[in-house]
Structure 1
């Protein structure tokens, strides 16, 4: 019963989109927003390689 009341209360609150002046990137910005992919991607790649090597060693 409490979950249904919570869902009903959340569905009645109005949702508003951000306008360009609210801190987000402005339309027509000269450069796209930079996303740092180097650190996380290299850690995931190293973890995947380690996992694959362990699986290959266990197979033998």
Structure 2
């Protein structure tokens, strides 16, 4: 029991040192792992055709209206 109390006092006193040593040991373990196996070569997939211009105009209008709203708020706040 006395050993655990003494160990707890030591850990409180040397908390930063203990954390630094622990991080260094963890980095050694991480760097000593073997590298992953190389991926098998596959032919590239054809590009996916995604319609992005359907919602762009709606997004631009929403951004424009939000900008007007924020300008109105700033002007109202400064008056």
Q: What's the TM-score once normalised by structure 2's chain length?
A: 0.38
Greater C-alpha Rg: 2
Q: What's the TM-score once normalised by structure 1's chain length?
A: 0.47
Relative contact order, CA 8 A, sep 6+: which one is greater?
Answer: 1
